[in-house]
Amino acid sequence: MLGLRRLLRSGCKVLALVVVAQLTAVAIEIDPILPQETPAYPLNLLESLRAAAVAVPGALPRELRYITVAESHRPQRAVLENGPDTVYVQARAAFQVVYADATLMVDAGMDETVHRGFSMGTPEPYFPERNAAVQAALKAASLVVITHEHGDHIAGVVRSPDRAAIAAHTLLTKAQVETLTLAPQSPEIRLTPAEAADYLVIDYALYYPVAPGVVLLKSPGHTPGHQMVYLRLADGTEYLLSGDVTWAIDGVTSLRQRPPGTSERIREDRAALAQQIEWLASIAAAGEVVVVPSHDAVYFAELERRGLITQGLRGD
């Protein structure tokens, strides 16, 4: 993993500078808020991800951990189209992939200022000690990847007191950088072009192996830079960390998106999301891969009972 970090630094840093230099031209040509170039998923995609998971040499990871830094409490009708009025606990989570001698973080938590922007005027649970654990894990990780460029997923690598040090081993995509510099979700998470050059920046067609057992999967729709993360452990357990394709696992199993009004407010591409949800549903139904949306607190507890995920980060 340390060798991988050196490889990424040498191979991607130049690309980061190129992307930043081209942002002005991109801003003229496209609306950076809208997803671009949504890829079609081929029938053999899962087999391709499995093959890519062993493309980077090294021992596969041993376990998947998670931590919740905050919660938002919403009626399910605000989370799923035609959902009931019962309360859904939206966990604001980050994930840690644990190797024998290294870790990889997926998403980065957020500080309390960013959290308050999600609370819609009503105070909601925030756990500063857990976010401090995320910050420690981000600094210690060999690599950090981000599912998408919303504040509850990316603020920890943008607003950290140790931002420059964490940025040096944080992998962003070209689309994520474009959003963060040109049209961020909120002013608090905006990156300047100079700041963006501190990160490792890549662009890829459909999927991209970044570490032993870890493959990024392009999935714009919720945001332009949204991506899922395929994970395979040494014991053969497979996961798809599906980010915010849906907020709840019920969205996958019942083929339901967020309400149309929510999609319109956050500028989602519902056609792209429909394709992704159908694919995730087929994966989940086959029972070979554990689909893990980023925000489903009840489902996290179920996965923990089944021994598939562990709460708390290594070292916290």
Domain extents in the chain:
2-311
Contact 198, 119 (CB under 8 A): no
Contact 220, 269 (CB under 8 A): yes
pLDDT number for residue 9: 39
pLDDT in tens, 83-131: 999 999 999 999 999 999 999 999 999 999 999 988 877 889 999 999 9
Instruction: Enter the DSSP assignment of 184.
Output: -
pLDDT number for residue 315: 76
pLDDT number for residue 20: 36
Q: Give every residue of the chain whose pLDDT is below 70, as ranges.
A: 1-34, 36-37, 316
Q: 2-311: which CATH topology?
A: Metallo-beta-lactamase; Chain A (3.60.15)
pLDDT number for residue 120: 72
* 290 Cβ neighbours under 8 A, 6+ residues apart: 237, 238, 239, 240, 303, 308
